[in-house]
Amino acid sequence: MVNPQALPLVVRDLSFCYHTRTTPAIENINLRLEPGQVVLLAGSSGCGKTTLMRCVNGLIPHTYRGSMDGEIELYGESIRGMGLSDISRHVGTLLQDPERQILGTYVMNEVCFGLESLGMSREEMIPRAEKALDRLHILHLKDKETHYTSGGEKQKVALAGVLAMEPSILLLDEPLASLDPASAREALLTFRELADEGLSILLVEHRVEDVLQINPDKVIYMDEGRVTYEGDVEGLLETADYTRIKLPAKSVLRRSSGIPCKEYRPAVPRLDPKSEPLVSFQNVSFRYKANTPEVLHNINIDIRAGEVIAILGHNGSGKTTTVKQALGLLKPTSGQVLLEGVETRKTTVANAARTIGYVFQSPTQMLFAPTVREELAFGPGNLGFVKEQVAENVNWAIETVHLEQELPTPPLALSFGQQKRVSIASVLSMRSRVLMMDEPTAGQDYWNYQSFMDTILQTPGFDAILFITHDLDLALTYANRVIVLFGGRVVADGSPHEVFADDDKLKEWRLLPTSLLELNREMYPRTSQFLRAEALSQLAG
C-alpha cells in the first residue's frame, strides 16, 4: 500500500545497462524528491538523464531491456512488480520528442486520452482537459487537428495531456526544447506553480539558464552516467563545465577569463548582394486546407550565397511551413518559390534535394535505416554519388556530429539528442548547396551544438545555411542575417544587431532578451559584432 507520508520518490544505488551495450548507462544513482520540490537534472547529451527517467516511470524494464540494480520507491513502495498503469497513476512523463507521445487526431482527443483510459466519464474529462490546456495558454487549439500543429504546439499539447492526469510526480524530459522563449518562460512559471501546489518535479533540461529563473530547489549534474554534483544553484555555477551546459553569460565571462578561445570564421563564400538568389520566395501565401485561414501571408525572402540565416518566431508563426515551401514539400497557395531560378511547382522533391538539404524538426520523421551508417549513406547513394564518395561523405558527416562509435547502431535506439545529430549528419552527407535545419540544437548540450555548428559553418561546400531556432543566442552568434516571423508574416529582416536592438519589439514577437544578448550590447561599441561569452572574455578587463 502506498504511504502518503513517505517521500514521493527515492532512488537508491540505481544502475542500468541496456542489453545492446557493454557499459552501464547509469551507475550508482541516489536521488530523493520531496513534495513541492523542483529538481533540475542537467548534464551533457548521453550522460544518462533520460535513462534515469525511464527507470522511474517504468519504461525500464517494461519497454527497454537490460540489467538493473538498485531500488526505486514511490511513496515508500518499491516499483518492482508494479505495472506501467500503476506507476502512471503517480508519475506523469513528458517525452523529449512530442511526435512519439501524441496519438489523438484532434487536440482535445489527445489531452483526454489518458483520462479515457482510466474509464473517466466525458463530464469529468472535459473540464480537466480544458483546465490543462488553459494553464498552458493553448485552449484555443482544442478543436485543431494535431497534424497541423507546430512542433512547439505539439510539445504543449503533450504536456497538457500529462497535466490532465493530475500526477503527483512530474518527469519532464527537455520540455523547453521546441518552445519559443515566451512560451518557455510561461511553461517554467507553470511548473513552479504546480510545485508550489505540492507536485514533485524532476526536470531534465539543457536550457539551464532559463530554468534558473524559477529557482529550482536543487540541482543534480550528471556526467558519464554518474552524479558528479548535487546541491544549490550557486554551486552549479561554480563547478559545472560551462563548455558542456549553457550557463548565464556573465558567469561564463568570469570563469573563462584568460583561457584562450578559438577564433570562429564561417566558410560560406563572401556575400554578393547583387548575385542571383539560390532560393527566392515571391509573394508566397499558404493555407493547409481550403476555406481555412492562411498560415503564411505574402512572404518575400531571397537567399543568396554567403548568407547564414536564422529564422525565429513564436510557436505556430509559420517558420517550418515557410522552409518546407523551398524544398517543394508544400506548394504555395499563391505566389511562387524559385529554386535556382526554377519554380518548385515544376520540379520534384528529389531534384530539389540536390540544391537543398533539409533537416526535419523531429528526427523520427527522417530516420528509418537499420544502422546509422546505412542512414547516412542513403541520401548520397540516392543522388548517384560513387561508392568511394559516399563513404567519404558518411565519415565526414558522422565525425561532424561526434557519433563515430554509433555507426553500427540502429538510429531509433539512440537518445533523442543523438537521433537529432544523426538526422543532421544524414543531410550533411548529401553535400547540398544550401543547408536548411529545423531546430538543429533541440535536445543538444552546449558543447555538442557549438561543436557541430562550428564544424558545419567552417567546412567549405555549403553556399548558404539557414536554420530555424528559438535560441536567440544561437542566432546572434552564428547568423549574419536574422528573419523574424510573427503570425505568418515577416516582421523583421536584418543583421542580428539590427533585429535584436529593441526589447519591446522582441517581447511583442515572443522573443525574450538573454544574458548573452545584454552582454553583447554592452560590449558592442568595442567589438562591432556579436560573440559568444567565451570570446567576449578575451576582450573584457
Domains and CATH numbers, the chain: 9-90+167-240 (3.40.50.300), 101-166 (no CATH)
| R_g of the chain, CA atoms, integer Å | 23
Average pLDDT, stretch 73-82? 92
**pLDDT band with cut points at 50, 70 and 90 for residue 263:** low
Give the torsion through C-alpha atoms of 64, 68, 70, 74, to 10 deg: 20
**Per residue in 427-455, pLDDT tens?**
889 888 899 998 888 777 888 888 878 87
Rounded to 5°, the CA angle 56-52-365 comes to: 100
**Per residue in 115-167, pLDDT tens?**
888 888 999 999 999 999 998 889 999 999 998 888 788 888 988 999 999 89
The lowest-confidence range among 34-38, 348-352, 463-467 is 348-352
pLDDT at 1 over 60: no
Classify residue 143 by its DSSP letter.
Answer: T
Residue 164, C-alpha cell as written in the block = 490532465
The Cα 24–Cα 472 span in angstroms is 36
Average pLDDT, stretch 203-210? 89
User: Residues 463, 279: contact at Cβ < 8 Å?
Assistant: no
Average pLDDT, stretch 372-400? 92
The lowest-confidence range among 78-82, 129-133, 441-445, 477-481 is 441-445
Residue indicated by cell numbers 544524414: 426
Q: What is the pLDDT of residue 373?
A: 95
**Per residue in 5-23, pLDDT tens?**
789 999 999 999 998 888 9
The Cα 215–Cα 205 span in angstroms is 14
Average pLDDT, stretch 470-496? 95
Amino acid at 309: I
* Contacts with 359 (C-beta within 8 Å, 6 or more apart), sequence order: 366, 423, 424, 427, 435, 436, 437, 438, 440
Q: What is the pLDDT of residue 312?
A: 97
Chain centroid offset of residue 113 CA: 25
Does the pTM surpass 0.75? The reply is yes
Taking each helix axis from N to C terminus, what angle separates 181-196 and 151-164, rounded to the nearest 10 degrees?
Answer: 10
Nearest to 417, CA basis, from 383, 447, 378, 455: 447
- Greater confidence (269 vs 201) lies with 201
Q: What is the pLDDT of residue 436?
A: 92
What is the number of residues in the chain?
A: 541
